[in-house]
Every structure is written in C-alpha cells, then in structure tokens.
Amino acid sequence: MRIIRLIVVCWAATSVWAAIAAVVDVPYSGQLVDNGAPLAGWHQVVVSLWDAPAAGTLLFSQSESVLVEQGVFHLELHVDDAIFAAHDAPWVGVAVDGAAELEPRVHIGAVPYAVRALAAPSPLPGVAFATNFSMVTVPSTLTWVPVSTVTLVAPADGHVWLAASGWWQENDFTAPHAVAVEFSLGEGSPPPFNQDQIQTGIFEYRSWPYSHTTILPATAGLHTYTCWVYVNSPSVTLDPMPEIWPATMQAMWVPNDYGN
C-alpha cells in the first residue's frame, strides 16, 4: 500500500495590506516520500488553506501538475489577499494524485504582512521580492558564499523582515557522511545574523529545502540584503561540492511601532 507523506515545507508569502485588493503569488515547496522513498516525476498536487488544523473551513485550494525531483516540488499559489487579511495564520493541507489530504496539516504561523492597516500617519511599507536566481556551486574552500540578494528602499527608520528559501543539493551519493549547512541573512560581509541547518548522511537523497527568516533594524534609504551559505563536511571532502538552488528572497519594511 502506498503511504505518501509530506516531510518538510517551505513557505514565503508576499506582503499584502488591507488598502489594496489583489491576488498575491505565494511560493510553496515541499518534499514527498512514498513508503520512505522520495517521489519522482510528474504528480498532481492539491494545496489548500484551512482555518483549523482539522476539519474547519476551506479558505483556498489550488490543483497543479508539478515535477517532483528526489521528492522535492515547488509551485506558486495565487491567493486573494483578502484571505490573509481575515486569517493571518492558516493551516496548509496537501493532497497528491487524487488521494485524501495528507495528515497532519502544517501551521504556517503569522503570514508576513501588516497585521494592522498601515494608514496615515504611518508611512507605507517598502516591499521587495526577487526570484529566478542562478544555481551556485559551493567552493571547496570553507567560506561564506552569497546565493541570493534583494534590494529595498526603506521610506523611514524602522525594521525590515527578510525571508529566503530554496534548496541545497549534495551531489556525492557514494557514501553517507555528515554535511553541515549554515545559512545567514543580513547586510555586509561576513553577515552578522546566522541560522543553522544541520543535515547528516542518514538522508539517502541529500536534496533538502531551506527557508529562513529574520528581522533587522533599518534606517531610511537603500538597503541590499544577502542570503549567505556556509557548507562544511567534517568527515570527508565532498566531490563534487554541493549546489545551492535559491528560489525566492523577500524583504518588507515595517515602522518602528509595528504591532503596537
């Protein structure tokens, strides 16, 4: 019997605000396994948004044929921003090839948008969203490598919410060994804000999505933010070296009194 499960997801939502009704594109990634083996090929995937972890009200649903490679799939949801305005922390359900929805649903937490309407006297937010980055091969020397960037103009002093997502692929399948992958988001080099993601050789197929966020203070003006990666394999020299496939990077400015 086929037992398909979703073992990891990445979510990066574009920002929305109540003053403008629009459809927003929301990148969504996941990894599917069937009885422990990653799926491959084309599969019909239905992604739904719910207001509860079980049962509840269906808020949105999108069905799409996607290419699954070593279990990893990527798609963009085209969601009416009114859904996020009314439900800032929905639950995501996924169904594959006409089967029942996988359990459990995934809680994505607060969607990154201005929870309160950003009306006068607060300035409107600066928003930047970038995609279609080139694949980056990690060098053999241990060093920080930039993989994606986004530029934003902050209209006033405040804070910037950053998010970066994609996946990394270790290409040496000859033997299991430990691989440490560290991501960092910020301005300058070396980046000061680190987030660790450690994977080990227990994964037979070493293709793994990443999704990282942080929030930084920002003065008024132009800012360029970078997602950096540092790969270390303490047990063996990797040959060939891993590849980083950055998918999206987003920045959203909020005023200093955001959330108050």
141 & 214 share domain:
yes
174 falls within a domain: yes
pLDDT in tens, 195-207: 555 444 344 446 6
155 & 65 share domain:
no
Give the length of the chain: 260
101 & 136 share domain:
no
Q: Residue 237 CB: number of other CB atoms within 10 A?
A: 9
Beta bridge partners of 75: 28
Are residues 217 and 159 in contact, defined by beta-carbon separation less than 8 angstroms?
Answer: yes
Beta bridge partners of 189: none
Q: What is the CATH number of the domain that holds 8?
A: 2.60.40.150
Burial of 14 (0-12, 13-18, 19+ CB in 10 A): buried
71 & 145 share domain:
no
98 & 150 share domain:
no
Are residues 136 and 147 in contact, defined by beta-carbon separation less than 8 angstroms?
Answer: yes
Look at residue 28 in the predicted model and tell me its pLDDT. Answer: 78
The closest of 180, 178, 176, 170 to 245, measured between CA atoms, is 170
pLDDT in tens, 139-156: 877 788 889 999 988 888
Number of domains, the chain: 2
- Chain centroid to CA 195: 14
Structural domain range at position 205: 127-255
173 & 91 share domain:
no
pTM: 0.50
